[in-house]
């Protein structure tokens, strides 16, 4: 059975992700982590979905069945689980969340003892154990070896102190009016607390989760809502988180959403000017606009590209010795502060940038113009490997000679091919896309 996707295990709660599957997955993960155990403790947190209760209890049953003690800390952001797993010296951490998905879905993300997301090799090892019924049965424990569980409610303070310490000590948020959208998710307590303790005037919305309203017409997936509130309350900036608070979307004082690539560019240059950028580089994904690459190059900063997914961004960051990277979707990683995308840590760096620049958000976070970009999805009957498609290189050659960047890939979950083109001349990009669409209609 295939379990892991691009970001842990995710699916419809009670269907693909039912109690029996979760219990088995917990046993398999426990058996895997036990090989290198030092403390026999695993941390478990969750977002605010109703199905989190079912999944949490199934995880506890599976982990204790193979000898693990479980620490349950309730609703907390994904990056808090990464931080606390290492801080509390646990063998592993588990976050129950489907991130920005609707409440019907849920998911399970695993972290190692250093707070890093598991790589594909580790995930495959857990899947192998999961599918080995004989091993699963033989590795169960009995008697005094069965694990225990306990709930701790006061660890939120550790995470708050950690995030606040990343904000420059010579600054405070006094005088800033901020609209904060918690997406009725995991940051509904910790988000407002951090901003208020740093002195901001915070207008808090969507901070009343009921188990079903997470991400519902709110948060990072629907930032247009707080754009209206910013104008109404004459706020300086808006911050929209997603359900597990690992993603941030920023809205300026005009109520306009700040493009993710522009945000990455502005933050990277800010770190560079503050002499805090390591490796003189930045990591973004293959989806990021080439205008970001050109902007950074003009600043003497090299852009490296990774596959889509914040864990792939982090892999390239580690490989290149870089401490900053992100995705245009809002996952931004400051690796000196967090082991994964952290919406609140990113928000504090955005606010520090604005305060130090002395400019309004609409100016400070708009450092360059994007190049025209077209993304088109086409249904296909068969996913023929791109290298085996006759004539594709001949079609792409004149397109590339115009200075147009192309990204062609199949969807990982659907029978679709995704075509992305971008360049400085809009008409060239549009004409080239029509040429590509016609070509793929014939061959696929």
Residues carrying an active site annotation:
99
* C-alpha distances in Å from residue 191, one per residue of 156, 196, 337: 11, 9, 16
CA dihedral 394, 399, 400, 406 (to 10 degrees): -100
- Which residues, in sequence order, are CB contacts of 18 under 8 Å at separation 6+? none
Q: Is the separation of the CB atoms in 211 and 188 below 8 Å?
A: no
Q: List 417's β-bridge partners, or say none.
A: 378, 410
Dihedral of CA 369/373/375/376: which sign? positive
C-alpha–C-alpha distance, residues 5 and 121, integer Å: 13
Three-state SS for 282-322 is EEEECCCCHHHHHHHHHCCCEEEEECCCHHHHHHHHHHHCC
Structure tokens at 23: 């219990």
Structure tokens at 134: 């004989």
Phi, psi values for residue 408, rounded to 5°: -125, 125
Residue 18 vs residues 1, 14, 73, 131, 197: alpha-carbon distances, Å: 14, 4, 22, 16, 40
Task: Please give the angle made by the CA atoms of 410, 413 and 417, to the nearest 5 degrees.
Answer: 25
Alpha carbons 46 and 72: distance in angstroms, whole number: 9
The size of the chain, in residues, is 444
Check if the beta carbon of residue 46 is closer than 8 Å to that of residue 56.
Answer: yes
| Angle (deg, nearest 10), helices 120-130 and 19-34 | 120
Cα 9–15–19 angle (5° rounding)? 75
**Cα 207 to the chain's mean position, in Å?**
20
State the Cα–Cα distance between residues 261 and 229, nearest whole angstrom.
24
Q: Tokens 């522009």 sit at which residue?
A: 262
């Amino acid at each position: 059975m295939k379990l892991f996707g691009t970001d842990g295990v995710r699916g419809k709660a009670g269907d693909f992700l039912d109690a029996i599957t979760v219990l088995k997955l917990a046993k398999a993960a426990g058996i895997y982590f036990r090989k290198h155990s030092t403390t026999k403790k695993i941390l478990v947190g969750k977002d605010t979905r109703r199905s989190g209760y079912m999944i949490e209890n199934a995880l506890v049953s599976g982990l204790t069945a193979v000898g693990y003690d479980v620490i349950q800390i309730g609703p907390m952001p994904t990056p808090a689980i990464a931080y606390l797993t290492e801080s509390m010296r646990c063998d592993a951490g588990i976050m129950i969340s489907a991130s920005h998905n609707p409440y019907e879905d849920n998911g399970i993300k695993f972290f190692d003892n250093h707070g890093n997301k598991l790589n594909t090799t580790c995930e495959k090892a857990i899947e192998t154990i999961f599918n080995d019924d004989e091993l699963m049965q033989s590795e169960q424990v009995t008697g005094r070896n069965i694990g225990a569980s306990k709930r701790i409610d006061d660890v939120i303070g550790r995470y708050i102190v950690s995030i606040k310490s990343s904000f420059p000590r010579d600054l405070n948020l006094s005088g800033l009016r901020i609209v904060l959208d918690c997406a009725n998710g995991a940051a509904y307590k910790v988000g407002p607390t951090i901003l208020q303790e740093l002195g901001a005037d915070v207008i808090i919305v969507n901070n009343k989760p009921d188990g079903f309203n997470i991400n519902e017409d709110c948060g990072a997936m629907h930032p247009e809502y707080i754009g209206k509130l910013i104008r109404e309350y004459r706020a300086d900036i808006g911050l929209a988180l997603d359900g597990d608070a690992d993603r941030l979307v920023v809205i300026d004082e005009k109520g306009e959403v700040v493009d993710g690539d522009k945000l990455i560019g502005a933050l990277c240059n800010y770190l560079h000017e503050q002499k805090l950028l390591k490796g003189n580089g930045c990591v973004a994904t293959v989806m990021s606009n080439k205008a970001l690459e050109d902007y950074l190059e003009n600043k003497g900063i090299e852009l490296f590209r990774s596959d889509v997914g914040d864990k792939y961004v982090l892999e390239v960051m580690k490989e290149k010795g870089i401490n900053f990277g992100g995705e245009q979707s809002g996952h931004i990683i400051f690796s000196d502060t967090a082991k994964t995308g952290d919406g609140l840590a990113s928000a504090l760096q955005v606010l520090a940038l604005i305060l130090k620049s002395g400019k309004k958000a609409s100016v400070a976070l708009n450092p360059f113009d994007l190049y025209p970009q077209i993304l088109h999805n086409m249904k296909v009957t068969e996913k023929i490997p791109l290298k085996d498609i006759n004539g594709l290189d001949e079609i792409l050659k004149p397109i590339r000679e115009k200075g147009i960047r192309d990204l062609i890939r199949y969807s990982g979950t659907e029978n679709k091919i995704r075509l992305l083109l971008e360049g400085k001349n809009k008409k060239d990009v549009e004409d080239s896309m029509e040429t590509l669409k016609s070509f793929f209609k014939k061959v696929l």
